[in-house]
Amino acid sequence: MWSLMIHGGAGSMRPGSLDPEMEKAAHDGLGDALDAGEQVLAKGGSAIDAVEAAARAMEEDPAFNAGRGSVLAHDGHVECDAAIMEGAERRAGAVAGLRTTRAPISAARAVMEKSPHVLMGRGGAEEFALEQGLEQVPNTWFVTPERRRQLDELLARGSEAFDAEIKYGTIGAVAVDEAGHVAAATSTGGLTAKRWGRIGDSPLIGAGTYADDRAAAVSATGLGEVFIRAAAAHEVCARMRFCNEDLQSALDAVLAEIGAMGGTGGMIAVAPSGEAAWSFTTPGMYRARCDARGTRQVAMFDSTSER
């Protein structure tokens, strides 16, 4: 049975805390991304195609911190990271620090399928994406007025300011197809005002992104430095394989461990059986899911709402 789950980031969002128009845009964007992935799976398509389609939809949507609409680095430019992985052979591809490639998740897939490597960064990744015929755009194309405002507001607090009310805007998608193969995709613009070429967990296989047909496909969002230290996405799969934990228990346990290490965030996951689960330790997490049985949910806060 096919199943698809997506997320648009976790963080401090609470009911009534968001501008109504922004909340509606995010809600609608989750629905549109769900549609993009569902169209692939409902026609018998592969999990890897479905997660790429869902992630691309969110990269194109300025409501999310990935692709167009990514947060700005300290000096005002955008840098995008992305990763994709399929569970049958555990092939993976990732990119970090992209500034001009319009579709970071498609660049990650090109690394997986068209190169002998797993992770490419910055100028080299951009050169490879260009060689693969992926569309290039000016860095200003990614920038939105709202993201510029957020950067200006944060920098006004001082050079060492950190956004205490942060929303980890990473986007992600996980899916299992009719053949029982799983896949995961994750894409992000990172943290507002990031410096020194900072890279989080999203493009690191086993940290923010992982897929294994023997266990699950996982995509994470949260304080990347702690998710890296916990090898979070792989740890979920390891708990399932070696400790016989169910999907929900494994997610909850890993997030509890991350909490003990000082981190917060969330994860989504699907298993080859079609089981799907999410877990988060922040006030809210943009998330949605659908499956072959007709389940369809779009939720943003603690309570679950249906679209």
Residues catalogued as catalytic: 170
Phi, psi of 144, deg, nearest 5: -115, 155
Q: Which of 114, 117, 50 is nearest to 86 (CA)?
A: 50
DSSP β-bridge partners for residue 220: 267
Distance CA 92, CA 111 (A): 8
Residue tagged 């700005």 (tokens):
72
How many CA atoms lie within 13 Å of 164's alpha carbon, on the beta-carbon side? 2
How remote is the C-alpha of 26 from its chain's centroid? 14
CB-CB contact of 183 with 271 (8 Å):
no
Distance CA 89, CA 103 (A): 24
How remote is the C-alpha of 248 from its chain's centroid? 19
How remote is the C-alpha of 266 from its chain's centroid? 10
CB-CB contact of 74 with 42 (8 Å):
no
Would you tell me how many other CB atoms lie within 10 Å of the CB of residue 122? Answer: 15
